[in-house]
Chains A and B, each alone.
Chain A
């Protein structure tokens, strides 16, 4: 998806710049950068024309506002970090490395080209999920990876013997990146799907969801509805301080809390239906 930046010049700067920012916070602008002469607003779409008609700043006496639009092409902004990323050792059984790294010496290496998707094992939550997955039996299991990012968890599930894997992510960049990583790891059964929890159409033995507290609490009932009897649910993407909220939500949906794990401030929970 391409973005559009609108660079506003505001004279005199204050308080008009702050008011303009407040007004733009009512639009679909995602983020802003304050400059010495005004403001840059970033929109998640290609915008051909923009008007300040109806904006307060436009009617403020003695205030002049001009602006310029620029479409920003989609690009892998994470390239600099990726070029230097270090392999991750989850345990002696499992390493995660980029295509340009030598083997880690672990029993199994997953090869991940991260691009701009979540999930390299560098983040504590991915590490925690990979670590918990190593303790489960994936042989002949049906697996759902919600918020799949790079596809790293789905790829491990296939390597551990799962026979049906759906990898759902809301971000189009991620579904593309998941396919790329499947190819790097010679995986063939994962189905990358773009969408949210409404894209869940099957039942599973193991559901993996490393997203965030708000999405997990909002969508957990949909995951549970898609779980076979005795299925496992592995959750991460939230702080230790949010653990109780997720456990009580899960218990209210009939899940049994089996295990909590943590690394730095981040938490991982294991449930069973």
Chain B
């Protein structure tokens, strides 16, 4: 029989850097979970992506055991990486500060597809492209669809 789920906790934590401070401490501690156990496991599983902000969904069970799923970084974070952008443009409509290619948009869309409310790759790419434009990132080349 499946274990009773006591709580679902969604956080964004940097790879390899989970520690028992807020929000991890209070979120897990209040459920009676061993915070240190979570931190050690999370850090070991994300050690190849140190410092990257990673969404994590933690399932806490009735017996205070837990497991967790690590998702890919948010699209905006990936776009900033792809465009090698720091902090972004303060004037998105006037000053284009960086560019990405449609191939990069496709790569991000493919990775994020499971987390997006999109049924087709085109709609996922459109969504990522929209976020890019809001960030002042120009997408180079011909729109592929």
Is A117 a contact partner of B36 (Cβ separation < 8 A)?
yes
The residue from A5, A55, A85, A237 contacting B40, defined by CB atoms under 8 A apart: A237
- Could you mark each residue 103-123 of chain B with 1 if its beta carbon is under 8 Å from any beta carbon of chain A, else 0? 000000000000000000000
- Count of interface residues, chain B, beta-carbon cutoff 8 Å: 54
Smallest beta-carbon distance B64→chain A, Å: 7
Cβ of B20 and Cβ of A123 under 8 Å apart?
A: no
- Set of chain A residues within 8 Å of B39, measured between Cβ atoms: 118
B62 is an interface residue with CB less than 8 A from chain A? no
User: In the docked arrangement, what's the CA distance between A33 and B44, Å?
Assistant: 21
Partner of B21, one of A44, A55, A212: A44
Residues of A within 8 A of B34 (CB): 78, 81, 85, 122
Residues in chain A near residue B88, CB distance under 8 A: 19, 22-23, 55-56
**Contact B29–A77 (Cβ < 8 Å):** yes
Q: How many A-B residue pairs have CB under 8 A?
A: 155
**Stretch binding the partner chain, chosen from A24-32, A99-107, A161-169, A250-258:** A24-32
Q: Are A33 and B134 in contact (CB under 8 A)?
A: no
Interface pair B33/A31, CB less than 8 Å apart:
no
B29 & A19 in contact (Cβ 8 Å cutoff): no
Contact across chains for A21 and B53 when beta carbons are under 8 A apart: yes
User: Quick one: which of A131-149 are within 8 Å of B by CB?
Assistant: 149
**A83 to chain B: closest residue by CB:** B32
Task: Please report the C-alpha to C-alpha distance between residue A118 and residue B136 in the assembled complex, in whole angstroms.
Answer: 44
Q: Which of B31-79 contact A (CB under 8 A)?
A: 31-37, 39-40, 43-44, 47, 50, 53, 64, 74-77, 79
Which segment, of A57-65, A180-188, A191-199, faces chain B? A57-65
Query: Which single residue of chain B is at the shortest CB-CB distance from A22?
Result: B76
Tell whether A238 pairs with B37 under 8 Å between CB atoms, given A18-B76, A25-B77. no
Q: Tell me whether A212 and B47 are in contact in the complex, defined as CB-CB below 8 angstroms, given that A56-B90, A77-B20 are known contacts.
A: yes
B64 / chain A contacts, CB cutoff of 8 Å: 81, 84
Can you list the 10 inter-chain pairs with the closest CB atoms, starting with the nearest?
A: A77-B25, A77-B29, A22-B76, A56-B88, A32-B12, A18-B76, A116-B20, A15-B131, A22-B77, A80-B32
Q: Which residue numbers of B lie inside 8 Å of A, CB to CB?
A: 10-14, 16-37, 39-40, 43-44, 47, 50, 53, 64, 74-77, 79-80, 86-93, 130-131, 134-136
22 contacts between A and B (CB under 8 A): A19-B88, A21-B77, A22-B135, A31-B18, A31-B23, A31-B24, A32-B11, A33-B11, A54-B90, A56-B87, A56-B134, A72-B22, A77-B22, A77-B28, A77-B29, A78-B35, A116-B35, A120-B36, A122-B34, A171-B19, A214-B50, A237-B40
Interface of A toward B, CB cutoff 8 Å:
1, 3, 5, 15-16, 18-19, 21-23, 25-26, 30-34, 40, 42, 44, 54-56, 58-61, 72, 75, 77-81, 84-85, 114, 116-118, 120, 122-123, 125, 149, 171, 212-214, 237-239
**Extra A-B contacts (19), CB below 8 Å, given A3-B22, A31-B13:** A15-B134, A16-B134, A19-B88, A19-B134, A19-B135, A23-B87, A30-B17, A31-B12, A31-B23, A33-B11, A34-B10, A61-B93, A75-B25, A77-B25, A77-B26, A122-B37, A212-B16, A212-B40, A212-B47
